[in-house]
Structure 1
Amino acid sequence: MSTQPPAQADRSFNRPMLVKLVIVAVMMFGFGFALVPMYRAICQITGINNLVQRDATVREAKNTQVDMSRTISIEFDANARGPLGFKPEQRSMDVHPGEVTTVMYEVSNEQARTIQAQAIPSYAPKQATEYFRKIECFCFTQQTLTANQTKRLPVVFVVDPKLPKDVKTITLSYTFFELNTPAAATAGSAAPTASTANPAATSANPA
């Protein structure tokens, strides 16, 4: 009965193991590259990581070629959640793709207390989202409004000239909502005290 020397047996065992490890390493390397387009696809579908981030720098926007042959109608919409007044200073404007444009919104705190608020943008049609590039926007940060304060807030944007030819109107919509709703304080103020619940109890004079 013949047996392999230990060294030869080790080489026979290590060779297929090495091949398997190389295959696994190559597959992991390829999977790592595949994660990037997968992440971009998920973000594009869900809108994650694209809501309140700067879309282009001022320098990039100024270097964009303006397409004077096309005019895009931009419509502005505003919605508020909570004790906020919110509206655009103009309802629409016409722009050329590649043209840097500014529009102003107005938000007001209608309460006698300080409010923390955040605006979230959305676009219609959905396919216009990746071509509407915000350079500066109040939606990038939370906004603090003191009691009865009103602010004028700018949005600086540019429409990418690569916008599909069939898109002639884009609606930019913002929803502004309060972050620090004082629910506990409201609930606490609704509970009557003993004196207000029974005024006679405070006025009674014990014998």
Structure 2
Amino acid sequence: MSRRKANLQMVGKLCVVVTMMFAFGYALVPLYRHICDALGINVLTLSESGGVARGARPENTQVDRQRTITVEFDANARGPWEFKPAVNAVTVHPGELATVMYEFQNMQNRTMAAQAIPSYAPHQAAPHFFKVECFCFNEYTLSAGEKKQWPVVFYIDPKIPKDVTTITLSYTFFEVGGKTPPAPTGKTAAVSTAQEVRL
């Protein structure tokens, strides 16, 4: 076999390897979403995946005043962060818009970038929990010792099953670039203040 032919064969093999690597990288995001859906962890609602435009008012303006649902807030920090909701829980009517603040502080002596991952319990509540605004939509950079407050603005679809009376919204806040954290453990955060806004 001539050297030229051997070189052409090697180039062909390298092209196949590059194509396979590209296809694998492209498939990672949907694969991750399918695994999360199957295991019920780090579930992204329709509002986070583009089902509801960020900053837009929800189309459903009907409030079911015959029902109330308690929404509990849980915060978990993976790394040197102070991270907590302003309140432990709020009670809302399905269809009612509510706002809750979360508090953040970088406890390191260096600038850090981080992001929050949400999860829900019970699992069947996730498709009915819509966020209009949420700090979990973006990554954030905090300088050493910097404190911030960011809101979660949400509503619950009135079509949520009747047997769901309590929903736990849990966030895990972790440094970007670090290892993805495990599912939240259910740690309860401190109580402060909250603001609820009706449609």
Aligned residue for 1:141? 138
Give 1:112 deviation, angstroms.
1.2
Q: What is the rounded CA distance, in whole Å, between the counterparts of 1:145 and 1:53 in structure 2?
A: 25
Give 1:53 deviation, angstroms.
3.6
Q: 1:59 to 1:145 in 2, by over 3 A?
A: closer
Give 1:45 deviation, angstroms.
3.5
Gap runs ≥5 in structure 1: 1-38, 182-207
Q: What is the rounded CA distance, in whole Å, between the counterparts of 2:71 and 2:136 in structure 1?
A: 18
Q: What is the rounded CA distance, in whole Å, between the counterparts of 1:55 and 1:143 in structure 2?
A: 23
State, as a whole percentage, how many aligned pairs show the same letter.
56
Q: What is the rounded CA distance, in whole Å, between the counterparts of 1:53 and 1:128 in structure 2?
A: 16
Q: What is the rounded CA distance, in whole Å, between the counterparts of 2:43 and 2:119 in structure 1?
A: 13
Assess if the C-alpha contact under 8 Å between 1:53 and 1:140 holds in 2.
Answer: no
Instruction: List aligned pairs for 1:1-207, cutoff 5 A.
Output: 42=34, 44-45=37-38, 50=44, 52-53=48-49, 55-57=51-53, 59-61=56-58, 63-180=60-177
Number of aligned residue pairs: 142
Q: TM-score, with normalisation over the residues of structure 1? A: 0.62
Alignment-mate amino acid for residue 129 of structure 2? F
Alignment-mate amino acid for residue 145 of structure 1? L
Q: Deviations over 1:4-37 (max 9, x none)?
A: xxxxxxxxxxxxxxxxxxxxxxxxxxxxxxxxxx
Gap runs ≥5 in structure 2: 1-30, 179-199
Give 1:56 deviation, angstroms.
2.4
Q: Relative CO higher for 1 or 2, CA cutoff 8 Å, sep ≥ 6?
A: 2
Give 1:61 deviation, angstroms.
1.7
Assess if the C-alpha contact under 8 Å between 2:135 and 2:151 holds in 1.
Answer: yes
Q: Which runs of 4+ in 1 moved over 6 A?
A: none
Q: TM-score, with normalisation over the residues of structure 2? A: 0.65
